[in-house]
Every structure is written in structure tokens, then in C-alpha cells.
Structure 1
Amino acid sequence: DFNYKNYPYTVEYEVELEYKHTFYFPDWQPQADEYLSVEKSRYTFVSPQDYTLRYKAFNYPSEPVATTEKNKKLMTWEIKSLPAVIRPYASPSWTELTTSVLFAPSDFQMEGYKGNAASWQEFGKFILTLNQGRDKLPDAILQKVTSLTAGLSSAREKVVKLYEYLQQNTRYISIQLGIGGFQPFEASYVAQKGYGDCKALSNYMYSLLKAAGIPSYHALIHAGNSLEAKSLVNDLPSTQFNHMVLFVPLEKDTMWLECTSQDNPAGYSGGFTGNRQALAITPEGGKLVSTPRYQSAENRQFRFVKGTINEEGGLNIAVNANYAALQK
């Protein structure tokens, strides 16, 4: 048990992590939070001589120290005497306030799948490979798509109808093992079981739309309401995402579908995935696109209150509240 009564004190530790892939590397951020000073921290990346490591440093004053040892290339970052930071109101993301180095692979491999992250387009091609061949639907579901969309004239109407069908017949369950954290269940599996994670449900919706003749694209995104969730480092292509949605380009508009929700209206992103960049997985590879940004005109809250005082002096009140966009 830790029972050290003198303050302040120093905690010294080493961390060793073992991965069976090169899809991503741990970032270096000596200060994980406010009110934490750091006496000394070091990060060394060891790789073959010909491996190209990609990285982006924040608040680090120099280049890493590069050395060679036993035919290996070593790159070392080190800081000393880092004072504690108090995060001011309306400050930028934590990465921009303190020393941080983000790392990304060039060539990588995960469970037999190979890829390259030199550009967003190349990174998207890897995701495209993971999704390939997973859009086959059972005949019964194909017939259901035909019956649901019969008589509907516009693509938007068909998207709404099929999205409602998805919401009524599936639920979100996150089961991710190994490459399952990045590769979706097959659409036929979701059709049979009625559940899936964000990738599986987005892929199922993609398959429903494909059966109706409507093209759409899987889109990787960092979901959440924090500033960090909205702060994509767009000049360091890498796996910076924790969620998948569906991107549906229409003739005059674009619809974003949150396929894990059973009550969102079709096309509504909200604060969870709105106002940020996402990586659309197109047939040509990855492409950064922006999700809807809700302005003050859309974010509305109307409340109508009608009160009546009876003969005994009691007050009866009827309240009608209407919320729109992020006010929901």
C-alpha cells in the first residue's frame, strides 16, 4: 500500500507495452493532466535502420536525438523540470498546452493486413480493404429493402425510410477483439443477430443503401463533446478515431447517419459527432470531410408557459417546450 506522508513526493516508474501490430504507436505526453509537474521523462523509439517513423511534436524545443545501436535506429525525446500547468478557461486542446509528441507509422501490418499511412488517401485504402466483401445481405433483407422503398421517389426519402428500419431492428453492442476493433461484422451477421458496434451497424446501413441503389461511404470520426475530440491533427495521417458513422452524398445535400442511435432523426449529428473533420472511406481511399456545424440559428429553445389562477388562489401552469439542434 502507498502510505507516504511527506509532501511533495516523487513517483518514478517505467512502462513497457507489447503490441502484436504496427498500426499505431503510443504517444508521449509526460503531463497527463493539470497540477502535475514532471522532474524527468524520456521516450525512445527503437526501429530498423530503414524504417520511417512519422511524428509531430508540440511544445518540444528541439529535434530528437538520433543514435545507432546494434543495427537499430534509436530516436529519443527527453524533458526535465516541467512545471505544472493550470488549464485556463477556453484554452486550446491539452496537446497544445504541454509537451507532447504524437507518433504514426509509415508502412504497418495488423493480423495479416498490410497498409500505409503516408497520406489520408492511403490510410483510407487500408480501411477499405478491411471492409471489402462484408456488404452481402440475405435475400429476405434484399426483398425488404425493395418493399420499403417502393413508391418513394427521392433518394432522401429512401435514406430516411431505411434508416428508420435500421433503428427499429438493430441495437448497439460493442464486441471488439483483435482486428475486430477496426473491421466490421459482415452485414449478413448483423441482419441475423440484430446487433453490432458502430462499424457493424454503419456497414449494415451502407449495405441497405447499396441494395437500394444509393451510394454511401463509411466515415471514421473522433466522437465526443470535448475539445480534444474535435481537434484532429490533419497533417499526421493515422488512427485518431474512435467511432464510425455513415456519409451519404445526395444530389444537393449530404446526410450523416449515426447508426448506433435508435432515436436520432436521419441526418442529425448533434454534439457527439458534429462540427469536426471525419475521414470518408471512398473507393479511391480516404478523404477528409467536415460534419455539420450547428449555428445559433439552428440551436433553438422555445418555451411557452400559460398560467391560470383559480378562485382559491391556486396556480395551474401548462408548459410547452420545443428544442432544436444541440438543444435537444
Structure 2
Amino acid sequence: MYLKRLILAILLSAVCTPQAMADDVSKSWEQKHRDEPVLYRLVEETIDLNRDGSYKDTEHYVMEIRNEGGQDLGEITVPYDRSFQAVKVIKAFIMTPDGKRHKYTSIQDLDVYSGAALYSDARVKVVTMPNVVPSSVLEWQTTILNKKSLISGTFSSLFDCLAYEAPIRKKQLTLIVPKGMPLQFMNWHTAIKPEITEHKGRVRYVWTLEYLDKLETEDYMPSADDVTQYVSISNINGWETIDGWYWGLVTKNLRVSTAMKETVNQLIEGKRTPGDKIQAILDYLQANFRYVSMSFGSNLLEPHPSDEVFDNKYGDCKDQVLVAMAMLKEAGITAYPAFFTDAGSIHPENKIPMPNYFDHVILAIELEGKLIYTDELAKGYRFDEIPLYLQGGHVFVVNGQGGRFDTVPVTSGDENGVVKTSTHTLKEDGAAIVETTALWDIQTSVGVREGWKNMPEADKQKMVDALNEKVSSGGRVFEHRLENIDGPFGRIRSYMRYETPQFAESAGSFLTFGLGGNERDAAFTKKKRIYPLNFAAASYNQTKNVYIIPKSFEVVHLPQNVELSCEYFDYSRTYKQDGQAIAETETVLFKRAALPVSAYGRLKDLETQYSRLTNEKIIVKKGGVPRDAIPVADLTARQAMRKPLPEDQTAGLVGTADIRK
């Protein structure tokens, strides 16, 4: 018996070879992704680095076009900067289903900013492929020579271990460096290790990954620090090296011309406080300078001389920051460039030093002993107001003293919501006279104001007329005001008084009206959640409605009050009747919160309640009509109401009587 078992084990081991097992994994992975429009067979990069920081970068891609969704890959783009890069090799062909091999049809060498009259060496080669049809295989390779490094003698890079656009069968980075060249490596959420070999005085590092699924994203994704997987590589000694390098560029290019001095003196004349001077200078820059993107974070990190940018009246974020620094300095105010990345991106602090983490430059202004962060490109905000996209962002302030990390402050969120108060005087036929006042959120206010001030008067009137028609449902608008729309900053307040013929739903002697049901957030319709939840924005919305019903009517149904609360939002809707007046008040407070995957089921139940418990409206009837005569067929909202969840299923979800206390 033992001999038979031994023979069977030998036979099984002969069959279940590593190759056979690998083939099984490959087939299973292929089957899993059979419906993907594109599948990458190979994503490969080889970097051959020299001691002075120059290097040769070869990229190689092989991809299967599975269906028509992948046909847009027929245009291959190869960006480069001709001031320090040269494209040495481009190879590209496609294998069609009939087995024929076709070479690219054309290569164009284009100016990235063509037509912008911009002083830029950014270019892109566009390779056009023929016969990009389903079941074809596209392969291309480029070699770019980087003649110098951004910081002399340094090198930094990230090897991303995820697949974002499509599944990847094999992903590989090869780094070849001179023996003895100091390098730092940091693994982030990955245990991958390189294969290391040495040959003729050079060391080869090879990182290899196989069978990568495409990253599935969700709403309310956690920050990149919690999701990304990568290996960072750098020989930059510390963040003080990056600070010293960029501060040198600032010192080199910060120039104040006579025209700049005269302009500053005119702008700050009569301005008593530093804040007023700062605002005057930034207002001038925003009104007179044009923004042109020049891709901070790739290879265009040096700002152009501030006097040249001032004369030309255009530049990218780092150019305009330098001009602002120069003008503020002339006004006696100190400011610094701050490298920026948003709150959802990789947090650079305590990471291996490299400028690659950042994608924007904002201004850090010294005022009353602290730094105020402002994005010069964010029109419509005071310099000390913080747009939502900046809040919580990570900054590295370049100050010539080693630099410093900081976080852009977050606000309470009240300015991110809408506060609306309305009075509705109903008529017996369901029409109503409505008087409403609304304080808009800051983002909408800024966007509308920016468009409004550049709009011809005729177009302004058309926009108002269309809005009036929509709101009044074809009724009469007696008055419509937009307060602060012509102001420089702040929230817009609107006022309308109008008559609408279709306010309440009419069914015989009954009228139905009110806020009605709220939709459940689509993010909570999935059965299961993959990632933790991150609620990054805060806001406060309040709606107060007063309904005055005709004297001949009485209330048949008043919805129950609803109060829901959890870590990321508080919700309240209340009703109160006083004679012929009914008050309906709804408040929604969204809070910043980070929650584990395990909270998803509980929050999903809460969202269901949020939709279900608000799915009622007010019903009134004309006097003399029996209550049991309510036309059930017309009360769809009431029919849809289901019983509340049992008490044991709502534990921890209902609470907070006053959500603002």
C-alpha cells in the first residue's frame, strides 16, 4: 500500500509542475478579464542611470485590443522636453487577427502649446497606428535620453505596483546603476523585492509583478496613502536638498523691474493694512494674467524670470507665484512658494524625498506670525478664504532654510452649503404665491459670479428669463434679485417673489405638497464595500418652508418628524402646524469622517431610512369632504411608505435632537 501511494505521489508531482500551475493561474486570470476592452500583456520600463543623474529610459508595451472599447489606443503619445531630452527610438507595430504585422503609418512631432505663443520646450510625438481592430495586438517601444537631472546628480522615481487603466499580465521595472551609487528604497503597502545582479561595475535591480487586476474604484475612496502600492527610489539626501535646490531657482529668477515697482506702488496707495495690500496685488494678477499649464511635477519645475512673466502677462502656477512673491516683497510682505498636493493624494512627509509627489504650486504668505495659503489661480476668493479643493492638502514650503511641511487648514463647512427660506401662500386650485430667499454656497457663488461678470447684458437677461420661467413653471415673477453678484467675493444671496400655477398636486378636493422623498446615495447601493470610506468634505444645508393653506382647507396628513445621525452626516426634518400655517424645516450637516469597511452595512441601512422616512408629503383637504374619501390612487408617496425598521435594527442611527448644538 505504501509503495502504491509513493508511486501516485510521484505521478502527481510530475503532472503538477510549476509550469502547469502557472498555466492554470494564467488561464484563470484571462477568464476573469475576458470582457475587458484592453489587456496589457507587458508593461516594462528600463532605466539606465549615470552618476551625474542623466539616464536612458526605455518603455515597452504589449497590449491586446479585446473589443471596440480599446480602439482609441491607436494614437500613441510620447511627451518630452527638447531642452534636456531626446527621443532616440520609436518602434511600433500591430498584429491583426489574420496574423499580418503592420507598422505605424505616421509620426508627428508637435508643440504641446502650439498657438499659445508660449516659451516652452514641451513637445509630444504622436504615433498613428493602422488597423486597430478587435483581437489585434499592439506593441510599441520608445527610448528617451535624459541629458541631465532636475537637481544636479540626483535621481528619483516611483514604481507603481497597481494597474489603473486595464489589467496587466506582467509589469516590470529594471534599474541599472553604477556600482557604489547610493540609493534609498521605500516600499509602500507592498512587499515586492527586486532581483539584484552585478555585471561589469553596474548593478541591476529588477522588480516584477504578474497578473495585476485593474484597480476597482468606489465613491468615497480613502486617500492615496491608504490605497496605493509603490516602490519609491531616490538618491536625494533629504528634503533640505529639495528646498535648497528650488530656493536657488527662486533666487535666480525673482526679479523686480521698474514697471513692477511702479505697478505695486499704484496698487497699494492708500491701503493701510497688509491684508488690503495683499488683496490688491492678487486682484491685479488675477485680472491681468492668463494661466497656461506647463505640467508642474514632470520635468518643467524651474519658474521663468518674474519680470518676463510680468511683461508677457501669462504663465503657469509656479511662474505666477514667483511674480506674486516679487510684487509682495516690493510691498514689504514676505511670501514663499509652497509645493501642493491635495488631501486625497500621497502624503509626502516621512517619505523618501522627491519632488514627484506634488503637482501644483501655491503661495504661502507671512501674515501676523503665521502662514496663509492661497492659490493665486483661484479667482473669486479672498486671499484668506480657502477653496474646498485646497482644504486639508499637503504642502512643502520652500523657504531657503530647509523647508517645512504643513497642512492647509479646513473650514467648518458652513460656507459649502445652501440656506433657503420660503413662504408659500397656496390657493384652492394648487397654485401659490412664493417668496423665497437663498444664501448660496461659496463654490456656486464664485462660479456664477465669474461667468456673470464676463457675460453680455443681453445674455444675462436671457439667463434670468430662463431661470424665472423654470422656477415659476410658466407663472408670473414679481421680483427677482441677485445680491452680491457684482461684488468681488463672498456668497450670493437671491430673492424671488413669484406666482406658480403648479405648486401643489391636486386630486379633487385634496392638495399634496412638501419636500417629499430624498434619493438614497448611489454609493450605498452595492452589496459589499471594498475599501474604507473617506468623507472628505463638510457642508451645511438648511431649508425652511412655511406653507399657508386657504382658510377653507384643513390638514389631513402631516408627516412625522425625522432625525437621523451617524459619523458623517446629521439629518433632521420637522413639521409644525399653527392654524393655517405649516412649518417644514430640513437640515443636513455633512461631516468629515474616515470609517472602516465594517461600517458600510450600517451606513447603507441609514441611507435606506433616509430615503424611506422622508417619502411623505403634506396632505390638506377642502372643508366638508370626509377623511375616508381620500383618493388613494393619487397618494403614491403615502402608498410607498413602509413600516420603520425594528428598534434593534436602528440602534446607533437615530439620535441628536438638535444637530447644530
TM bin, normalised by shorter chain, reads 0.7 to 0.9
- The answer to whether the Cα contact below 8 Å between 1:128 and 1:285 also exists between their aligned partners in 2 is no
The farther-off stretch of 69-78 and 309-318 is: 309-318
Cα distance between partner residues in 2 of 1:98 and 1:261? 29
Q: CA-atom RMSD, angstroms?
A: 3.4
1:257 maps to 2:374: yes
Instruction: Return the match for 1:21 from 120, 123, 148.
Output: 148
Shift of 1:286: 2.1
- Corresponding residue of 1:111: none
- 1:203-222 aligned at under 5 Å gives the runs 203-222=322-341
The one-letter code of the counterpart of 1:166 is L
Aligned partner letter, 1:232:
P
Identify the residue that residue 152 of structure 1 maps to in structure 2: 271
Which segment drifts farther, 310-319 or 293-302?
Answer: 310-319
2:354 alignment partner in structure 1:
238
1:1-328 equivalences under 5 Å are: 7=34, 11-15=41-45, 16-17=58-59, 18=144, 19-23=146-150, 25-33=156-164, 36=167, 38-61=168-191, 63-82=193-212, 86-87=216-217, 90-93=220-223, 96-97=226-227, 99-104=229-234, 106=235, 117-175=236-294, 181-223=300-342, 227-228=344-345, 231-232=347-348, 234-239=350-355, 240-296=357-413, 299-309=416-426, 314-324=431-441
Instruction: Work out the CA distance in 1 between the residues paired with 2:240 and 2:330.
Output: 26
| Structure 1 residues 100 and 216, CA gap change in structure 2 (3 angstroms) | same
Greater CA deviation, 27-36 or 286-295? 27-36
1:123: Cα distance to partner?
Answer: 0.6
Question: Which letter does structure 2 place at the counterpart of 1:12?
Answer: L
For residues 180 and 86 of structure 1, the distance between their equivalents in structure 2, rounded to whole angstroms, comes to: 30
1:60 is paired with a residue of what secondary structure? Answer: coil
Q: Which runs of 5+ in 1 are unaligned?
A: 107-116
Distance 2:335 2:228 in 1: 39
Change over 3 Å in CA distance of 1:315–1:52 after alignment to 2: farther
Cα distance change on mapping 1:177 and 1:307 into 2, 3 Å: closer
SS in 1 for 2:421: strand
Give TM-score scaled by structure 2 length: 0.42
| C-alpha distance in 2 between matches for 1:98 and 1:278 | 19
- SS of the residue aligned with 2:246? helix
In structure 2, the CA distance between the partners of 1:10 and 1:298, relative to structure 1 (3 Å rule), is: closer
User: Offset at 1:296?
Assistant: 3.9
Contact 1:125 1:285 in 2 (8 A): yes
Q: How far does the alpha carbon of each residue in 1:72-91 deviate from its partner, in whole angstroms, 9 at most, with x for none?
A: 01222223455565456645
CA 1:295–1:325 in 2, change beyond 3 Å: closer, same or farther?
farther
- Stretch deviating more after TM superposition (19-28 or 85-94): 85-94
Change (3 A) 1:297 1:177: closer
Mean CA deviation greater in 64-73 or 27-36:
27-36
The answer to whether the 8 A contact 2:163-2:212 is kept is no
Structure 1 Cα separation of the partners of residues 226 and 165 of structure 2 = 13
Structure 1 match to 2:625: none
Residue 269 (structure 1) shift: 3.1
Distance 1:155 1:10 in 2: 56
* Larger RCO, structures 1/2 (Cα 8 Å, 6+ apart): 1
Q: CA separation of 1:154/1:10 partners in 2, compared to 1, >3 Å: closer, same or farther?
A: closer
**8 Å contact kept, 1:47–1:74:** yes
- CA 320–256 in structure 1, closer or farther in 2 if over 3 Å, else same: farther
Query: How far did residue 162 of structure 1 move?
Result: 1.4
In structure 2, distance between residues paired with 1:247 and 1:98: 29
Q: Is the 8 A contact 1:218 1:281 kept in 2?
A: yes
SS at match of 1:152: coil
What is the CA distance between 1:306 and its match in structure 2?
A: 3.9
Distance 2:201 2:292 in 1: 46
2: CA distance, partners of 1:261 / 1:296: 18
1:95 Cα shift?
6.1
CA, structure 1 residues 127+252, in 2 after alignment: closer, same or farther (shift >3 Å)? closer
Asked whether the equivalents of residues 43 and 170 of structure 2 are also in contact (C-alpha less than 8 Å), the reply is: no
Per-residue deviation, residues 258-315 of structure 1 (Å, max 9, x unmatched): 1123322212332322212211110213211221222345544312334455798643
C-alpha distance 281-12 of structure 1, shift in aligned 2 (>3 A): closer
CA distance in 2, matches of 1:163, 1:319: 35
The residue aligned with 2:105 is: none
Letter of the 2:258 counterpart: D
Aligned AA (1:227):
G
- The alpha-carbon deviation at position 34 of structure 1 amounts to 8.0
- Deviates further, 16-25 or 211-220: 16-25
Structure 2: any 5+ residue segments left out of the alignment? 1-30, 46-57, 60-143, 446-661
- For residues 302 and 385 of structure 2, the distance between their equivalents in structure 1, rounded to whole angstroms, comes to 25
Contact 1:277/1:290 (<8 A) preserved:
yes
Distance 2:328 2:164 in 1: 44
Say which one has the larger Rg.
2
CA deviations on 1:66-115 (whole Å, 9 max, x unpaired) are 221121012222234555654566453456446421223x2xxxxxxxxx
Report the TM-score when normalising by structure 1. 0.80
Percentage of matched positions with identical amino acids: 20
* Letter matched to residue 148 of structure 2: H
Deviates more, 1:211-220 or 1:246-255: 246-255
